[in-house]
Every structure is written in C-alpha cells, then in structure tokens.
Amino acid sequence: MQYKLTKNIGFNAVQVLSLGFFTVILIGGIILSLPIASANGEYTNFIDALFTSTTSVCVTGLVTVDTGTHWNYFGKTVIMLLIEIGGLGFMSFATLIAIIIGKKITLKERLLMQEAMNTFSFQGMVKMVKYVLVFTFSVQLLGALLLATQFIPELGVGKGIYYSIFHSVSAFCNAGIDIIGNFNSVTAYHNNPVILLTISFLIIIGGLGFTVWTEIYNLKSFRKITTHSKVVILVTAILLIGGTVLMLAFEWNNPNTMKGFSMPEKLLNSWFASVSPRTAGFNSISTDGMSGAAKFLTIVLMFIGGSPGSTAGGIKTTTLGILVLTLIGVVKGREDTEVFGKRFSKDLVYKAFTVFFVGLTIVIIMTMLLSITEVGASFEYILYEVTSAFGTVGLTLGLTPNLTWIGKLLIIFTMYLGRVGPLTVALALTKIKTSKGIRYPEDKVLIG
C-alpha cells in the first residue's frame, strides 16, 4: 500500500510534509515583504521577510527586525497565523478546513496526518486531530485570559487583548516571538509571576506532545499510561527541575542578571530560564549577561528541546531518554535498553543515536560556516545562535540582527532543518527497512 500511495502522489509522506513547510514559509515571506505588513508602509527586505516567515513557521523566535516595532497589526497577525500553522502543522489546518466544508478525509491524507502528528498508527487520526485543535484553542484561550489580567490594565482593552492572544499563541506553539518591542522579550516582567508562570506553563503544555495529552485526557489508571508518555514526563521533569536548580546556582550572584532580585524573583526567573530553552525563546533576564556556565546549560537544553509530536523542536526528550538508558544498560552489562519493566528494540535505539548525531552534525557544520561568514563574532555567540536555530528556540546573545545576508540564509536553513530534519530522518527510518539477504562475519575493533 505504501508503494502504491507513493507512486500515485509522486512524493512520500515525509517529502510532502517537508515541501508543505517550505511552501508556507515562502508564501509568508512574500506577504511580509509587502508594504501592507510593515509599520512604515514600505517594502521589507525579502531576506528579512523570509527570515521572519521561517522563524514563525518553524516556531523558532530568532528575528532580524524587531517584531514589536517593524510590523503593523496586519503583519503581526500574519506572523501569529504562521506560528499557529507551524506549531500545529499545516496538515492539521488542512484537516480543519476539510471538516468545516464537509470534505471526506482520504487514506492518503490520514497517512500524511500520521506523519505530521508523529503517532504510532493512522487509526483514529481525524478524531485525534479534532481533539488536538480543540485542546490547542482551549489552552490558548485560557492563557490569553490570564495574560489579559496583566496586559489590559497596562495597555488598554484593545491592545491588551491582542497582546494576550499573540503571546499565548506564541508561548503554546513554543515560538518565543514577542511584540513588546526593542528586542527586550519579557525582561520588563521579570517580577510579574502571572505573566512568567502563564507563559512557562503554556510552553510546557505545548512541548509535552499531543500524544501525551491525549493519554492524560483519557487516563483511567496510571498503570495504563504508555511507556512513551512515562519517558516524556520523567525526562521533562528532570530537565525542568535540574535546569532550575542549576540556573539558580549559576546566576545567584550575577550582577548582570539576578543578584539584585529577591528570593522569590530568583526562583521565578531561574524556573523561566530553565523552561524557555525547551524551544520557546522568551527570556526574562539578559541572555548576554548570563555567566558562561548558564549559557552552556542553555545550549544543552536548547539542543534537547521538547517532546515528539509537540510544537517543540530539538532532538526531543525521548531521544535523550533512550540514549541515557542505553548508556546505563551498557555500564550495567545488560543487553537491552530497559525502563519501567519494558525494553526497547535495537531499531529504536539506532534511530535515537541517528537523530542525535544528525542534529549534532548540523550544529557543527553550521557553526563552522557561520564562523567564516560572521567575521568578528565570537565562537560562543555563533554556537549559541546555531543551537538556538536548530532547536527552534529563538534565544540569542544579540547576534541575529547583525547577521550578514549569507548568515541569515544559513540560519534560515538551520531553522528549517531543525523543524523537519531530524524528524524527517526518524520518520524515513521508520518506513525504510532494507535487507541485503546476507550478513558479514562478525569482527572487533578496540573501543575507548
């Protein structure tokens, strides 16, 4: 069936998804380059418009022009729509339109949805997509209502509501794009627990993955929850708690970030600094002012990212979980990778290592290329920027607006690869399995 489907449509499902993202990015770039999208009513440089479209669709957050001041409300609304499409996937929106007009969902479209949602089976896909859409809009509405309690008193009713909706969508989709202005993100609200906690929980909810939330919603007994969801929740909890503790330790006496904060403010901002690198890109304290240890920790968290089937990027929590569990198994002399009384197949372990090394290779190559194009930029700034782009995070030490046009194109390509690259490899490996019919004799090499 897979062969016939591929033959009929000319592309396999992975290629359709990759081309779909590219098409949406290109259309968004064209619209944003027009005078109707800019605040000054003039054309926007196409590379900057394309960069903004890419960072929106790939839910990254890196921007070469200030989102809050460069774009008018039309442009900002286009960006918000691109974020929503990129976060949920264009197949989810295509399904929504099909449902609205009463069009029947074909087998081909169900298979595409399976790839887009990164689920185990295409059975019940339409029902799941409906649930995802309802769940998404409900959570975003609740987030907007909470943010409105802070933005409306400060900005007025109309502007306050718009800002609340925009930042709720951006946070849930793990985009990290803000419209507060002057590249300041949410640093002005470092002492506002409502805004920071609302945004952080929207980031976590969006980054856990729709498969996990579907299970939680239908959960009748904790024993029935799948190993996938258990691994996602466990790794996420460890990263969030561990990241918060380390950020607190690293930045406690840093005069450029949290030295003057009260104890509750230090805890709040350490938590936010641990949550945001999980592919969101908001920052409540100066990223450039962080200590070297905190910057490196941020790079590590950005590379890991969120969970499969979510709005987040990175190599994913389950990949990290399988790598660590495999390491533990090897150290203990076990043949299998095990957790919660279950074992994982060798194929799954190989896929995890493949995704990890593909991601690492992308970061290494792009860092070397940017080191050539961005003369004068430090290695720390470049590595931070590339990892942020690959992990679709959006945090920067200030390099993004100063990139050369070649550097912008490289980051655009990195954001695109980060959104569809490792995922594409994983999905391709899921479908492609070849056998040569022979096995070579076993041999040995020295390790370590």
* Every domain of the chain and the residues it spans: 2-430
Contact between residue 349 and residue 326 where contact means Cβ atoms under 8 Å apart:
yes
CB neighbour list of residue 39: distance below 8 Å, 6 or more residues apart: 69, 70, 71, 72, 75
For 302-398, strand residue ranges (E) read 337-339, 342-344
181 or 151, higher pLDDT: 151
pLDDT at position 64 is 92
CA-CA distance, 251 to 256, in Å (whole number)?
Answer: 9
- Residue 110 clears pLDDT 70, i.e. is over it: no
3-state helix, strand, coil in the chain (%, to 5): 65, 0, 30
One DSSP character per residue, 146-208 reads HHHHHHHHHH-HHHHHHHHHHHHHHHHTT-----SSTT-TTGGGTT-HHHHHHHHHHHHHHHH
Provide mean pLDDT across the span 2-18. 52
One DSSP character per residue, 379-439 reads HHHHHHHHHHHHTT----SS-GGG--HHHHHHHHHHHHHHHHHHHHHHHHHHH-----S--
Provide mean pLDDT across the span 16-39. 87
In what helix (H) or strand (E) does residue 296 lie, and over which residues does it extend? helix 292-304
pLDDT at position 322 is 92
Contact between residue 59 and residue 24 where contact means Cβ atoms under 8 Å apart:
no
Left (φ > 0), alpha (ψ -120 to 50) or beta: where does 26 sit? alpha
Provide mean pLDDT across the span 87-113. 54
pLDDT at position 290 is 94
Alpha-carbon 129 to chain mean position: 19
For the CA atoms of 336, 347, 126, 308, what is the dihedral angle to 10 degrees?
A: 70
User: pLDDT tier at 228 (50, 70, 90 boundaries)?
Assistant: confident
pLDDT at position 7 is 44
Sign of the C-alpha dihedral computed for residues 363, 365, 368 and 371 taken in this order: negative
Three-state DSSP state, 338: strand
Per mean pLDDT, which of 85-94, 176-185, 406-415 is the most reliable?
406-415
Q: Percentage of residues in the chain with pLDDT exceeding 70?
A: 80
Tokens matching residue 304: 């890991």
The per-residue pLDDT for range 385-423, each reduced to its tens digit, is: 999 999 988 899 989 999 999 999 999 999 988 877 665
Q: Which residue has the tokens 């856990």?
A: 208
pLDDT at position 93 is 53
Contact between residue 227 and residue 342 where contact means Cβ atoms under 8 Å apart:
yes
The model's pTM: 0.84
pLDDT at position 38 is 93
Left (φ > 0), alpha (ψ -120 to 50) or beta: where does 118 sit? left
Q: Percentage of residues in the chain with pLDDT exceeding 90?
A: 51
